[in-house]
Each structure stands twice: as structure tokens, then as C-alpha cells.
Structure 1
Amino acid sequence: METPKARLALTIDERIDEPGNIARVRLRALDGAPLPPFTAGAHLDVHIRDADVDLWRQYSLCSDPAETAFYEIGVLRDPNSRGGSETLHRIVRTGGTLEVEGPKNHFPLNEAAPQSLLFGGGIGVTPMIAMARRLHALGQDFALHYCTRSREVTAFRDALAAAGLADAVVYHHDDDAATRLDLDAVLAEARDGVNVYVCGPQGFMDWVIGRAGAFGIDDACIHREFFSADVDVSGEAFEVVAERSGVTVSVGAEDTIAKALARAGVEVEVKCEEGVCGTCVTDVLDGEIDHRDHFLTADEREDGDQMCVCCSRARGKRLVLDL
């Protein structure tokens, strides 16, 4: 787990409204100083505050990792979200400021892979753009498969062309049979040792991950990042002991561990509330975990000694946490 990064107040240097209800937001230091470096696949935690909205959300960096003068993120305006993207689209204006934490990277690029296949679905293309920039700079073998509903809602075309990536990007559109992604054909031509990266809607990701596995690509070479997830936090009631705090709480059928602990005065930092960002990962001292997150790896789940308390639950009647 990475050491938490300090919070930064960044100025909104530019907002570019891309097709598909996506805002490309460029951020700089208030004093113009160089920003902390980041690696391809990294994201920022962005604090979204306006009126009664007070949320943290994660946005992948799509700018060049070699660039330290500014960061760029892409924000999809999603009316079905819990208010974060709608609020950002409303409040982000050139000259304003945003509070962020990071950069943080839970989706790192294997720069030594003999080949990299990048699959971005909709706004999930943003970390892939930074990866493509880095792989292009290294002269590595790669392709970026960018999937959208139609050409008319495909963002970042100008930015990708300006970065010299036009020849490395293959555009796929659901409404055009001639360009739809033939995933099996792409995977059938993959080189030995290929690394696959995927980010996008959950159904799209499940499809890519499943087919990559079916083609014999080792799970360790299939890299994924969920920007959101449907998560069911409900279940049977159970007890949670915060060992170091000496506090015991009951977690109800529709409750979460993090919320139950917070009511008892034991604060656990929570940001995404969907088990995708890893902020709330907590060590488990005793008890069996019902993992509901999309953050921990299969090996980490198998170890059974940590969990995402924003959404995961107990399989039995009791969990003891190192809190």
C-alpha cells in the first residue's frame, strides 16, 4: 500500500469540453512550480465540494508522465452517478482551484513487457492515454484499442493526434459494424508475454478479462482498473471489533463497516465508497471476510488479512480489525 500523499491545491488552468460530455481539465500548481511526478496509470483523488456535496472521487491522469508543468484529467458528466461528476462539470472553471491528493498508482504499467495491449471503454481510456504516451516514448510494441458508442461521442481525438499517437490508436464504435472491436482477432495475434490493460464499464472489463484468460494470457499479465462498480453492501448483521480503539459495533443488514465505526467515533478514511480506490483498506486480525470490492487482488483476498471496509462484510458473526 502506498504512503498517503499530501493534499495539493491546484489551479484550473484550462477546461476543454470534449465530445461525449467529457471535460478535459488541466491543473497547475498555484505558484507555477513543477508538480510531483507520476507514472503511467496513476490517478488523482479529487475533493468535490459545493453546497451539500462533499465527496472524494478518483480521476486517472491522461497527460504525459514526462510532463511536470501540469496534470490533465478527463471527467465524464454522468447523470447516473452519485453527484460527483455532475458537480465537477458545474463548478470547474478556468482560474478556479481544486484540492487533490496524489498522484497515486494502483494500475502500474509493465514497461518491460514485449507487447502491451490497451483497451479503453469510454472514459476508461484516460489511464490508457498516459500509458500510450509512455510506451511511445520508450519505443515499445503496443496498441490502444479505444471503444465508444459512436464517433460523435469519442473524446481526446485531437489530443491523441497531437501526441503523435494516431498510428497506435484503433478506434472502435458500437454503431459501426466495420469498426467494432473483434477482441478474439486482436488476442489471437498477441505476442508471447503480452500484457493486457483494461478500464471501462464493468461489462466491458469482464468481457476483455474473460477473453484474455480464455486465450491463455496469465492473470498476472491482465491488468485492470475499475473507475466505478456496482456493489451490494447488504447482508446479514454481524459484529465488528476495533481492537486498538476498544470499540465494538453492530453492522446491520444495509449498513457498512465504515459507517458503523464512524458513528461510534472510529474514523476510517473513505473516498470511493465502491471498493475501487483502496483508501479504506484495513488489516483484519480475526474473522472470515466477504469481499465485495474490486481493489484487492486474488492473492490478497486469499490471504484474508485485509479488507475494504466501505463495502465488504463478514462471512460469519464477527470480525476483529486493527483499528
Structure 2
Amino acid sequence: MKRKPTDTHTDGARSAVTVRGLVKHYGKTKALDGVDLDVREGTVLGVLGPNGAGKTTLVRCLSTLITPDAGHATVAGYDVVRQPRQLRRVIGLTGQYAAVDEKISGFENLYLIGRLLDLSRQDARRRAGELLERFSLTEAARRPAGTYSGGMRRRLDLAASMIGSPAVLYLDEPTTGLDPRTRNEVWDEVRRMVGDGVTVLLTTQYMEEAEQLASELTVIDRGKVIAGGHIEELKAQVGGRTLRVRPADPAELRPLAALLDDSGLTGLATATVDTESGTLLVPVLSDEQLTAIVGAITARGVTIASITTELPSLDEVFLSLTGHRASTPHPQDETGSAGHEETAA
């Protein structure tokens, strides 16, 4: 299918998804409160936020499952309200739980979706076979999907979202409840999709997932966008760095910590000794403070094995922006999390 042109940024990059002032109410709850965002073609935009922040509501609006109350959004050049039929042909969606028919085989699941997307019988068979091989499901292709493991069902769900070769793919917390090995497999597939030119909008509560996959981030809380940009830009917004000093002699760790704290160079913070890594961690708020701390260490005549500075972790950024840490969902919490998102998101 011929795709419509997308919006172009001033730097020449083009937006596959453009959202302006999107609003959605559920009764008295304003799930989306004037959301703006852009997803550049061929990239992953990570949308972070706690349960109930509005992430799933945003995905449902952009995939035409629900209609926004106000605002405007285009995806792959199509208006989400005025052109829903055309839009559905160029998007894919993987939700928090694998949406596969467990009574039929993996092949039949994919073939059925291909036919629903108006692929010919031959093309639907070919596409199903390609994706089963790509997602390492060929050996299980003829087995009922109900016999698949959780990771296999998730891979089948991802394959189903790719049947129509979408220009834009929505991944709504795609690795919730998965074990680390399966999660890594899903991440590898997402990277491969992006390498093929697919644009991805990823909602997640996993900080590691956002850092692994997303080139840019948007943070949503209570239906509003509260921050956005490249990961390093968001970390810089929070302010502060950590100086990590590893002396050649680990016996110097505690004397160094005491020296810096007693000198007042650490301000209201304190130097922390990490005995496991053999390093001293010192919060730093300015270049002047950094210079003074390094000078004090040098003046003591300590031999330094390594010295580096680090920006805050993404989890620390989230805590600073929202006032609480991002939750890390567990398999037993999935039902409650999903229900909360649907009613209060």
C-alpha cells in the first residue's frame, strides 16, 4: 500500500506519528490531558509512566480502538479520527497480553490475520511462514497456540502484529511478566523491526527496557506529558552527577570518604563507599565542586586506578520527575495493573 507523506521536522527528520493536544475522558477522570508528542520515522519512542498515567489510553486512541474527545493525531500520514480504515492497514499492535487464539495453531493464527488484512491465500501462507521462521516458531507452527509457553505466545503475538508489514508498530508494555531470557528475545526482535524501517511507539515501566530500545523518551503522569527528549537530555535535566573514584588501594576508601565529608566538599550529601566495586561515590552538583573534590583527592597523594563521572540513572530521573519510582510489575500483578490502566488511564 502506498503510504502518505509524514510531517517533516526542521532538521529534515520526518514524523511517523504526530499528536497535538490529545484529550480523553473516562467519566470525571481526564485520562489524557492535552498530550503532545512526535515519533520520528524508523525510531523507537519510549513512553514512560506509572500505572494509570494514560499510556494505554494513548495507544488505544492512536490505534483507533477508542476516539479521543479533543485534539488531533496523525499516524503514517492518516488522521486517526477521519481515516481509521486506511490507518489500520499501516499499523500493528501488541498489547500487554498475547492476543492469540489458543485453540488453533500458530500458523492458522497468522494465516487468519493475513486473510483479514486482504492478503491472498498464497501471500497469507507465505507471510505466515516467513514470520514463523523469523520468530523461531517453525517447529511449533502446527501445534495449538494453547500449548505454547508464555514466551512463545508473546513471539506469536509480535509476529501477528507484523503480518501486514506495518509502517508503525505500537508495543504496549510488551514484556510484562516475561522472564529475562524471553524479554531479551523480544528486545532483539524489536531492534530487528526498527532495522527494517518500522517506527515503534513503546510504552513501558521497565527502565532497562527504555534504555535498551528507545532513542527518545516521553514521560507521562496523570494524563500529561511532563518531560521528553533523548535519554541523556532527560538525565541532564534532573541535574547532578556522581563522581566514581576507585583508588589503587581499597584501604583508602573510607579515609577518603571521611576527608571529603569533613571538608564540606560534598555539601549536604555524603560520600558513599561501595566495597563490592572498590569505589567511592560522590554526588556532584557543579563543575567547581567536581574540581575541588578531585583536587582534594590529589592533594592527599592517593594513587587513583580510575575516576569517572556518571549522570543519574533513568530510574532516578523518573523519581525526580514524578515524585515516585516507576513500578516494576510482576506476573502476579498483571491483572491489577491492566485493570487500573483501563479505568484510570
Same fold per TM (> 0.5)?
no
- Structure with the larger helix share: 2
| Highest RCO, 1 vs 2 (Cα 8 Å, sep ≥ 6) | 2
- Structure with the larger strand share: 1
Give the number of the structure whose alpha-carbon radius of gyration is greater.
2
